[in-house]
């Protein structure tokens, strides 16, 4: 992996971020009703609307608005929320921190569960165990998050069981145990849905690997099956698995939006929904950008990890 | 055609493929005939039978307005499955065309297209669909377009990588030497190679499309009530789930069936089309 | 300055003498109440800004009431009660009012609340540039001026005997005069008020925390040390939190969740009949709704009792196409309109639509029962030949493109303190939100006369006529009123759910000894 490769990828990341901001900005320009309509709401008069539009700078040409926003971002200033009047930066960063906790816990759990599951299914390909794992994972992919989340909420947080709190959030800094307790249900929801998807992907990658020449060669050499499975095949399937998990971060982020809505969890997803509903463009821009950059960075890291691991395997 | 038959034969040999094919066939039949076969008017209220459990009169029970759930699920099959298919087709066709074009042309155009698809992929598809629906207004058709657009970049990526593999092949060089036009080469020489991997991906995407449609309904965008679209039925049924599980269970199982059917088919197709696996 | 002679009969109320009982709380329970503790409140709408003059949603009204005071507050019987003003009186024809302020109120910055602040606040509130919601709901105020340090005089354009009630409007709060001029925008984030509580933490999308104001003007109030307000974007998770004991009080329980929540252990369900309604708004100025027969036909197509059952889950009362119901003071009872599809069909044919009428009914997705009502109307009206398709849209788009502009949509309105307010808000020709464009001069005259009448019996008669006229002419269809539904833990005492839905009285709330200690 040459430094040029890393620099090039990093440059691509920047370009992606800029294009994302342009796309989101362009789409928001087309939205019916703007922040001024939403702030004044039912009580707006024509004059008040015009005045507020001017005050918020919403009467300027789109490209001027974009440039103002963009040059602010370059200086680390994400603007002022049109909805609450608070600075966007700190609000969205703290929300991002909360979402990141959900995402990281879910990803770790997903990796721990879905990779062994996928390997087992692949090694018993076409047998009842494979079909069983597939069926369970199909059920996972076939349930929209909001249904699963509501079911978990109604069951595990019901007064009769009361295993977990129904809502809310405790910062890790104040009470780590209570924090874990509060994120269990959202993390569980995301994990179930993602495990289904990732384990299927791992299975199919694993199937390919098991059919590959070098595994056949190993088998012909009389290497024990277990050893082939975990030493040779798994190592090779890890790479695609990493890529799949990185790609699924996009899906995870989408799931986070829904889960945060159901569990009243104060993360980026909640901020984004509120921002769309209130036409709070600075908040919307910042949230969408943050999500896109997270996704792009995750993929960049996966690619770098791929390149690193790949090299080791080649040289071994 | 011969290769299609071979694929189908290979498909039916794997349990996933066989079951998936059968289920998809049944669902297709439901889509075609379901609304006409529904035993009752799917919109008719039965005031005295709200939240009824399954009985001989209402085979799958009723919802909060006393509407017959069996009839609603049957009537909704057409819109639900067709909409999901349509969204997938839009994403697949657009993605394949963009991917082939970008991969074949190469150079700066390719660079630019890839950066834009990177950017669109980086925006979570649910967020993207939410934004597009907020612009276009909620309707089933707009939801389909939104999901189609969100699916496009992923498909473009797949199509492009296949195109890059075959671009340097002998038969493409031969076609170029014959002086064939760019579009002819793209459609006649490259497209056939792209179809297989894209179709595998597309079958899996159908389930995602059903899910995303349902989630958009949950967030208040998408199908219009009182449409019996399954996602909307679940989203509306959620408010009543503690009084009766049937309004959410029945369309939920229907959605699960679609997801399972298309996933099985996709897995089966993947195995059947995988040259290593089939040998 | 000279002040007109007071009419003894018009001398309405002396708050100081009535003390605590005037605030609607039995004196005994106030004495027995245990001070201290933290109340956790669940809300369904996220507050955006803290400036009470710009408050638009219930969560903002709630915060405004905790952090600020107004001149008067609204009792649950829709009468005005003292807040900063301890007594008031008007001249004979109710065109001039004098409000006497209490002298022991102070803002959280330590300054006393004086008539100067009241005048500055009302001047700001009535300034069109402020775009304060409800600017036109206070009453026909012409002029506000100070009468010494602790009295203010209001002049009205027309006689208006409801002024003390009008001034209870949730945005009519008193802010310090100096800050109104210096930094009005500062109130968005930093409250400076004289309410029973003070702000500790404002994370609008997560939690808002207020604590007891030790300098509050009412003795021994507030009883609570702290109130935490949490918002729940999803109704079912709010219900789950209430059932799990994570919150002590839940404002706005969905009708579909109510029975389950109210049956929860240690939970009291709260049902308050209210004038909150959903209506089917029709543009009376354009075809087909400019024909009264069409409106009447639709009105006859609706089974109102079934509507209450299907849309409000039984927690409501049927309406008769007038926005006034039993929760108002001058409600005139009348027999419920019948459900008569045959007659509706005949009327429709007479109006020139023998083959039925195709319409598109728009409903915002917020709150959820707007679209429920649209779907039910569609189904009910099928029998009379209406073919109504439902179109839902997100709330911003609805506000921008349909509300006040659309021809046929579902409206949603909170109860107002007086009949005059609701009529002048929606149905008179110069109504703030004249969405029906009914523009009926006879109705306008009737309401205007009722508004300025001071004789209660005559007033009741005039408002009754106005209600009847709406019921006959059907400018809009009001099929159903909604009860306000809430829930509280049994150990929460002194909380009365207010039918207006915009007033809470948390300074009177306490936690009993059986409350869990946290």
User: A99 vs A212, A290, B253, CA distance in Å?
Assistant: 40, 11, 30
pTM for the structure as a whole: 0.84
Reply yes or no on whether the pLDDT at C325 is more than 90: yes
What residue ranges define each of the domains in chain A, with the CATH number in brackets? Answer: 3-74 (no CATH), 89-309 (1.10.3720.10)
Contact state of C390 with B134 under an 8 Å Cβ cutoff: no
- Kindly calculate the radius of gyration of chain C based on its CA atoms and give it in whole angstroms: 23
Ranking A100-109, C11-20, C39-48 by mean pLDDT, the lowest is: C11-20
Residue found under tokens 């709190």? A165
What is the band of C5 on the pLDDT scale with cuts at 50, 70, 90? Answer: very low
- Selected residue of B49, B229, B242 to mutate for chain C interface (largest C Cβ count, 10 A): B242
pLDDT tens-place string over residues C209-224? 999 999 999 988 999 9
pLDDT confidence of residue B277: 42
Please name the residues between 347 and 406 in chain C that touch chain A, using a CB distance below 8 Å: 394-397, 399-401, 403
Which two tokens mark C311? 């849309």
**Do residues C161 and C453 touch, judged by C-beta distance below 8 A?**
yes
- Whole-angstrom Cα distance, residue C92 to residue C87? 17
Contact state of B238 with A295 under an 8 Å Cβ cutoff: no
- Whole-angstrom Cα distance, residue B266 to residue B19? 11
Which residue in C has a C-alpha nearest to residue B42's C-alpha? Answer: C379
- Kindly calculate the radius of gyration of chain B based on its CA atoms and give it in whole angstroms: 22
Higher pLDDT, A10 or C134: A10
- Selected residue of C236, C256, C368 to mutate for chain B interface (largest B Cβ count, 10 A): C256
- Whole-angstrom Cα distance, residue C71 to residue C171? 11
* CB neighbourhood size of A59 (10 A): 15
Closest CA to C244 of A159, B222, A154: A159
What is the arithmetic mean of pLDDT over C205-212? 90
Ranking A237-246, C124-133, C378-387 by mean pLDDT, the lowest is: A237-246
C389-417 burial, b if ≥16 CB within 10 A, otherwise e?
A: ebbbbbbbbbbbebbbebbbbbbbbbbbb
Phi first, then psi: give them for residue C204, nearest 5 degrees: -50, -35
C430's CB contacts (< 8 A; 6+ apart) are: C424, C444
* CB neighbourhood size of C185 (10 A): 11
C336's CB contacts (< 8 A; 6+ apart) are: C304, C305, C318, C320
Distance from the Cα of B247 to chain A's closest Cα (Å) equals: 12
Peptide bond into C367 cis (omega under 30): yes
Phi first, then psi: give them for residue B239, nearest 5 degrees: -65, -20
pLDDT confidence of residue A196: 80
What is the band of C153 on the pLDDT scale with cuts at 50, 70, 90? Answer: very high
Segments making up each domain of chain B, as ranges = 17-45+56-278
pLDDT confidence of residue B8: 76
Per-residue pLDDT of chain B (279 residues; tens, 9 = 90+): 566 777 778 777 777 788 888 988 888 888 888 888 888 899 999 988 899 989 988 999 999 999 999 999 999 988 888 889 999 999 999 999 999 999 888 889 998 998 888 888 888 888 888 888 888 887 888 889 989 998 898 889 888 888 888 888 888 888 888 888 888 888 888 888 888 788 888 887 888 888 888 888 877 777 888 889 888 888 888 888 888 889 988 988 888 888 888 888 887 887 777 654 433
Contact state of A24 with B238 under an 8 Å Cβ cutoff: no
Distance from the Cα of B258 to chain A's closest Cα (Å) equals: 8
What is the band of C4 on the pLDDT scale with cuts at 50, 70, 90? Answer: very low
**Do residues B146 and B136 touch, judged by C-beta distance below 8 A?**
yes
- Whole-angstrom Cα distance, residue C162 to residue C78? 11
How does strand C267-282 pair with strand C476-489?
Answer: antiparallel
Which two tokens mark B109? 């155009």
C517's CB contacts (< 8 A; 6+ apart) are: none
pLDDT tens-place string over residues A5-32? 788 888 888 888 899 889 888 888 888 7
Contact state of C306 with B47 under an 8 Å Cβ cutoff: yes
Which partners does chain C have (≥3 C-beta pairs < 8 Å)? Answer: A, B
Q: Would you list which residues of chain B are within 8 Å, Cβ to Cβ, of chain C? A: 43-45, 47, 64-65, 134, 137-139, 220-221, 224-226, 238-243
Q: Looking at the partner chain, which of C131, C188, C241 has a beta carbon nearest the beta carbon of A40? A: C131
Phi first, then psi: give them for residue C281, nearest 5 degrees: -85, 130
Neighboring chain A residues of B257 at a CB cutoff of 8 Å: 142
Q: Looking at the DSSP assignment, which residues form a beta bridge with residue C484?
A: C272
Higher pLDDT, B150 or A164: B150
Give chain B as a DSSP string: -HHHHHHHHHHHHSHHHHHHHHHHHHHHHHHHHHHHH-SS-TT---GGGTTPPS-SSSTT-B-TT--BHHHHHHHHHHHHHHHHHHHHHHHHHHHHHHHHHHHHH-HHHHHHHHHHHHHHHHS-HHHHHHHHHHHH-S-HHHHHHHHHHHHHHHHHHHHHHHHHHHHTSHHHHHHHHTT--HHHIIIIIIHHHHHHHHHHHHHHHHHHHHHHHHHHHHTT-SSPTT---HHHHHHHHGGGTTT-SHHHHHHHHHHHHHHHHHHHHHHHHHHHH-HHHH-
Q: To the nearest 5 percent, what fractions of chain C are helix, strand and coil? A: 35, 25, 45
pLDDT tens-place string over residues C333-356? 989 999 999 999 999 999 999 999
**Do residues A23 and B120 touch, judged by C-beta distance below 8 A?**
yes
How does strand C38-43 pair with strand C226-231?
Answer: parallel
Give A101-146 as a DSSP string: HHHHHHHHHHHHHHHHHHHHHHHTTTSHHHHHHHHHHHHHHTS-HH
Q: Does C127 touch chain A (CB under 8 A)?
A: no
Q: Looking at the partner chain, which of B44, B137, B225 has a beta carbon nearest the beta carbon of C375? A: B225
Q: Looking at the DSSP assignment, which residues form a beta bridge with residue C100?
A: C87, C151
Reply yes or no on whether the pLDDT at A307 is more than 70: yes
- Kindly calculate the radius of gyration of chain A based on its CA atoms and give it in whole angstroms: 24
Distance from the Cα of B134 to chain A's closest Cα (Å) equals: 6
DSSP H helical ranges for C277-427: 292-300, 304-311, 341-350, 369-381, 395-401, 419-426
pLDDT tens-place string over residues B166-208? 888 888 888 888 888 888 888 888 888 888 788 888 887 888 8
What is the band of C8 on the pLDDT scale with cuts at 50, 70, 90? Answer: very low
Ranking A102-111, A172-181, C316-325 by mean pLDDT, the lowest is: A172-181
**Do residues C483 and C312 touch, judged by C-beta distance below 8 A?**
yes
Reply yes or no on whether the pLDDT at C22 is more than 70: no
What is the arithmetic mean of pLDDT over C244-255? 90
- Whole-angstrom Cα distance, residue A260 to residue A257? 5
What ipTM does the predicted assembly reach? 0.82
Closest CA to C124 of C182, C72, C164: C182
**Of the ranges B174-188, B262-276, C39-53, C485-499, which is most confident?**
C485-499
**Do residues B9 and B21 touch, judged by C-beta distance below 8 A?**
no
pLDDT confidence of residue C18: 36
pLDDT confidence of residue A240: 67
Distance from the Cα of A75 to chain C's closest Cα (Å) equals: 24
Which partners does chain A have (≥3 C-beta pairs < 8 Å)? Answer: B, C
What is the band of A214 on the pLDDT scale with cuts at 50, 70, 90? Answer: confident
Ranking A42-46, C46-50, C125-129 by mean pLDDT, the lowest is: A42-46
What is the band of C7 on the pLDDT scale with cuts at 50, 70, 90? Answer: very low
Distance from the Cα of C303 to chain A's closest Cα (Å) equals: 30
- Whole-angstrom Cα distance, residue C134 to residue C56? 9
Length of chain B: 279
Contact state of A141 with B263 under an 8 Å Cβ cutoff: yes
- Selected residue of C134, C205, C414 to mutate for chain A interface (largest A Cβ count, 10 A): C205
Reply yes or no on whether the pLDDT at C11 is more than 50: no
Neighboring chain C residues of A47 at a CB cutoff of 8 Å: 128-129
C104-141 burial, b if ≥16 CB within 10 A, otherwise e?
A: ebbbbeeebbbbebbbbbbebbbeeebbbbbbbbbbbb
Higher pLDDT, C120 or A65: C120
- Whole-angstrom Cα distance, residue A306 to residue A315? 14
Task: Tell whether domain B17-45+56-278 is in CATH 1.10.1040.10.
Answer: no
What is the arithmetic mean of pLDDT over A96-100? 89
What is the arithmetic mean of pLDDT over C149-157? 94
What torsion, rounded to 10 degrees, do the Cα atoms C373, C374, C379, C382 define? Answer: 130
pLDDT confidence of residue C74: 93
pLDDT confidence of residue B274: 62
- Whole-angstrom Cα distance, residue C35 to residue C512? 9
- Whole-angstrom Cα distance, residue B224 to residue B204? 26
Which two tokens mark C117? 């602040």
pLDDT confidence of residue C118: 96
């Amino acid at each position: 992996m040459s430094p040029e490769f890393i620099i090039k990828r990093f440059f691509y990341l920047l370009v992606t971020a800029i294009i994302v901001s342009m796309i989101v900005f362009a789409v928001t320009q087309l939205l019916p009703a703007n922040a001024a309509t939403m702030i004044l709401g039912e009580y707006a008069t024509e004059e008040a609307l015009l005045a507020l539009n001017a005050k918020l700078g919403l009467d300027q040409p789109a490209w001027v608005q974009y440039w103002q926003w963009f040059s602010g971002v370059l200086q680390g200033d994400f603007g002022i929320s049109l909805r609450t009047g608070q600075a966007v930066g700190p609000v969205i960063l703290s929300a991002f921190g909360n979402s990141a906790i959900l995402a990281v816990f879910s990803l770790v759990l997903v990796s721990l569960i879905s990779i062994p599951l996928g390997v087992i299914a692949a090694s018993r390909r076409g047998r009842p165990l494979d079909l069983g794992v597939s069926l369970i994972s199909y059920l996972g992919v076939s349930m929209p998050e909001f249904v699963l989340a509501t079911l978990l909420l109604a069951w595990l947080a019901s007064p009769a069981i009361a295993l977990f709190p129904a809502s809310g959030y405790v910062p890790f800094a104040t009470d780590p145990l209570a924090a874990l307790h509060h994120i269990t249900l959202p993390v569980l929801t995301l994990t179930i849905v993602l495990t289904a998807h990732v384990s299927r992907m791992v299975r199919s990658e694993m199937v390919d690997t098991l059919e590959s020449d070098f595994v056949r060669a190993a088998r012909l050499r009389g290497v024990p099956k277990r050893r082939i499975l975990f030493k040779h095949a798994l190592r090779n399937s890890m790479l695609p698995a990493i890529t799949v998990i990185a790609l699924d971060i996009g899906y995870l982020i989408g799931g986070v939006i829904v889960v945060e809505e159901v569990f009243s969890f104060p993360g980026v997803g909640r901020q984004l929904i509120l921002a769309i509903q209130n036409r709070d463009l600075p908040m919307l821009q910042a949230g969408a950008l943050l999500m896109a950059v997270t996704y792009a960075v995750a993929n960049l890291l996966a690619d770098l990890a791929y390149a690193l691991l790949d090299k080791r395997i080649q040289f071994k | 055609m011969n290769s299609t038959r071979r694929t189908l034969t290979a498909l039916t040999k794997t349990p996933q493929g066989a079951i998936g094919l059968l289920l998809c066939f049944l669902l297709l039949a439901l889509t075609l005939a379901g609304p006409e076969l529904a035993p009752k008017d799917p919109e008719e209220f039965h005031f005295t039978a709200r939240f009824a459990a399954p009985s001989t009169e209402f085979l799958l029970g009723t919802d909060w307005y006393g509407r017959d759930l069996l009839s609603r699920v049957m009537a909704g099959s057409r819109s639900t499955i067709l909409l999901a298919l349509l969204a997938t087709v839009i994403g697949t066709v657009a993605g394949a065309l963009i991917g082939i074009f970008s991969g074949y042309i190469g150079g700066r155009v390719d660079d630019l297209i890839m950066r834009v698809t990177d950017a669109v992929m980086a925006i979570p598809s649910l967020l993207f669909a939410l934004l597009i629906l907020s612009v276009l207004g909620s309707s089933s058709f707009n939801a389909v377009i939104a999901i189609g657009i969100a699916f496009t970049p992923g498909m473009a990526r797949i199509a492009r990588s296949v195109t890059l593999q075959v671009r340097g092949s002998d038969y493409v060089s031969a076609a170029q030497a014959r002086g064939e036009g760019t579009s002819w080469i793209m459609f006649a020489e490259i497209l056939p190679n792209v179809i297989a991997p894209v179709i595998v991906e597309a079958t899996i995407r159908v389930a995602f499309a059903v899910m995303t449609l349902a989630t958009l309904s949950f967030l208040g965008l998408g199908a219009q009530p009182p449409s019996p679209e399954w996602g909307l039925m679940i989203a509306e049924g959620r408010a009543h789930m503690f009084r009766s599980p049937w309004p959410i269970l029945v369309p939920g199982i229907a959605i699960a069936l679609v997801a399972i059917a298309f996933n099985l088919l996709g897995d089966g197709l993947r195995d059947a089309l995988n040259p290593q696996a089939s040998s | 300055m000279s002040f007109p002679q007071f009419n003894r009969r018009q001398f309405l109320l002396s708050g100081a003498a009535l003390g605590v009982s005037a605030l609607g709380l039995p004196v005994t329970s106030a004495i027995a109440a245990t001070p201290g503790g933290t109340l956790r409140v669940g809300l369904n709408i996220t507050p955006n800004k803290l400036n009470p003059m710009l408050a638009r949603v219930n969560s903002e009204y709630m915060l405004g009431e905790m952090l600020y005071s107004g001149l008067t507050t609204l009792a649950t019987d829709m009468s005005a009660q003292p807040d900063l003003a301890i007594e008031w009186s008007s001249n004979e024809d109710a065109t001039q009012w004098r409000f006497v302020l209490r002298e022991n109120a102070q803002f959280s910055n330590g300054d006393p609340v004086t008539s100067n602040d009241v005048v500055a606040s009302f001047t700001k509130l009535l300034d069109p540039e402020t775009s304060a919601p409800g600017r036109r709901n206070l009453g026909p105020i012409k002029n506000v001026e100070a009468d010494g340090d602790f009295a203010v005089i209001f002049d009205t354009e027309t006689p208006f005997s409801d002024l003390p009630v009008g001034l209870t409007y949730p945005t009519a709060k008193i802010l310090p005069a100096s800050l109104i001029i210096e930094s009005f925008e500062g109130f968005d984030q930093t409250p400076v008020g004289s309410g029973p509580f003070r702000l500790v933490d404002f994370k609008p999308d997560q939690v808002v925390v207020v604590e007891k104001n030790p300098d509050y003007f009412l003795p021994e109030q507030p009883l609570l040390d702290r109130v935490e307000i949490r918002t729940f974007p999803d109704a079912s998770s709010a219900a789950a939190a209430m059932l799990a004991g994570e919150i002590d009080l839940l404002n706005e329980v969905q009708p579909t969740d109510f029975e389950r929540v109210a049956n929860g252990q240690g939970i009291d369900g709260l049902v308050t009949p209210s004038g909150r309604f959903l209506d089917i708004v029709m543009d009376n100025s354009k075809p087909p709704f400019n024909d009264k027969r069409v409106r009447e036909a639709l009105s006859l197509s609706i089974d109102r009792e079934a509507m209450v059952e299907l849309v409000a889950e039984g927690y409501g009362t049927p309406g008769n196409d007038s926005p006034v119901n039993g929760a108002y003071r001058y409600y005139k009872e009348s027999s419920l309109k019948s459900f008569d599809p045959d007659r509706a069909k005949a009327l429709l044919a007479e109006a020139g639509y023998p083959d039925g009428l195709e319409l598109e009914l728009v409903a915002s997705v917020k709150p959820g029962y707007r679209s429920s009502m649209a779907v039910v109307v569609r189904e009910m009206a099928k029998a009379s030949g209406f073919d109504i398709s439902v179109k839902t849209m997100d709330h911003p788009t609805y506000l921008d493109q349909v509300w006040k502009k659309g021809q046929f949509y579902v409206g949603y309105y909170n109860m107002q303190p007086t009949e005059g307010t609701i009529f002048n808000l929606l149905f008179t020709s110069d109504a703030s939100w004249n969405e029906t464009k009914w523009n009926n001069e006879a109705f306008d005259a009737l309401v205007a006369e009722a508004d300025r009448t001071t004789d209660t019996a005559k007033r009741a008669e005039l408002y009754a006529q106005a209600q009847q006229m709406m019921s006959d002419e059907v400018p809009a269809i009001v099929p159903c009123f909604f009860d306000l539904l809430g829930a509280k833990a049994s150990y929460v005492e002194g909380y009365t759910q207010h039918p207006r839905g915009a007033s809470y009285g948390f300074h009177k709330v306490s936690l009993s000894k059986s409350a869990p200690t946290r």
